[in-house]
Structure 1
Amino acid sequence: MSAIDNSQSDKTDISLGELLGRAAETPDLPLVFLYDGKPVKPGYHVTEVKAGHFSALDCGANPEAWSEIFVQLWDIEEGERTHMTAGKFSAIVRKVSERVRLDGSAKLTFEVSDGVRPMQLFCANAPVAEDGTLQVALTPRPASCKPRDRWLAEKGATEASCCSSSASKCCS
């Protein structure tokens, strides 16, 4: 099994609905998450699936609101277990959705730990069928400045200082 170069993925930061849609196309393939340059161990567990609805003020005092789905992965090896199939992953999420409202279009965040190292936050790249598995590359979820992100999107700029005078309404 080879690690995925993130540039091979169709797009980054997919939603839960996009992940489940791809899993439905290949339910019998082992679902392998890759992070820190390696695949999760064959005995990994989905320990939690949770939905959050957030309200906040960004650094420019702009109100923000969003929904986010968190999938917690415990990266352990357990006995002779193999990677769970995409269908089993989908069944776990379906079971959660019977009791917790999950917005399929919500931002998707993976929380991953091996039980020793602290939990790390990741976003998911588009799943890719490779080497007889469905692989999902996880990339670290960085902090960002939302006013700067909006300003860059509007200007089409590639670099700007968060707190420069050109990035208006930032860090006020």
Structure 2
Amino acid sequence: MNAIDNSKMQKDDIALGELMSILSGAKDSPLIFYYDGRPVKPGYHVTEVKAGQFSALDCGANPEAWNEIFIQLWDIEEDDRSHMPSGKFHAIIRKVTEHVKLDDAARLTFEVSDGVRPMQLYCAAMPTLRAGTVHVELSPRPASCKPRDRWLAEQASAAACCAPASAGKCCG
């Protein structure tokens, strides 16, 4: 079994620790998640935070292991509510850590539903601060083939390593 390896996150993924670090610097700023081309409604709730440790066998018969944090957002609108301040979201996650061990380096997945449509899985990009508001773009989490992903990464690494501009660095 491979050791737990959270380095296999997609290029657009952000780890929980990165998100929390950014939010801690903007605690009074509204936190708005965007998914499917629209922002969450002002009354959204964090309904659940889960920590999982997974062991699996990929389609190439390679053992895999990773930690993942799931944050469930219920995209509803309530009267007289504005978007949650970053500090409140930060406090919710820190409250969870009093009861559940959360790995700050873990892959972060958002589960989002409006209570009508089925829950969908999203990965989060690096938050941005615009006009006093923290924006977090969520993109659908696609399926992948880990052996193919590793092969493509190796090809890209070899191409970067052995390109003429860097030939002296590793290709002798």
TM-score of Structure 1 vs Structure 2, range by shorter chain:
0.7 to 0.9
Alpha-carbon distance, 1:147 to partner: 0.2
Alpha-carbon distance, 1:36 to partner: 0.5
TM-score computed with the length of structure 1 as normaliser: 0.84
Q: Secondary structure at the match of 1:71?
A: strand
Instruction: Give the counterpart letter for 1:149 in structure 2.
Output: D
Distance 2:141 2:26 in 1: 27
TM-score computed with the length of structure 2 as normaliser: 0.84
Distance 1:131 1:120 in 2: 28
Deviation string 1:75-133 (CA, Å, 9 cap, x unpaired) is 00011101111100000001100000000000000000000000000000000001321
Equivalences for 1:1-172 in 2 at 5 Å? Answer: 12-156=12-156
Distance 1:16 1:70 in 2: 10
Q: Report the structure number with the largest CA radius of gyration.
A: 2
Distance 2:96 2:137 in 1: 23
Q: Percent identity?
A: 70
Instruction: Give the counterpart letter for 2:119 in structure 1.
Output: M
Distance 1:29 1:141 in 2: 27
* Pairwise CA RMSD: 1.0
Which sections of structure 1, spanning at least 5 residues, go unmatched? Answer: 1-10, 158-172
Deviation >2 Å, runs of 4+: none
Looking at secondary structure, tell me which structure has more helix per residue. 2
Q: Secondary structure at the match of 2:76?
A: coil
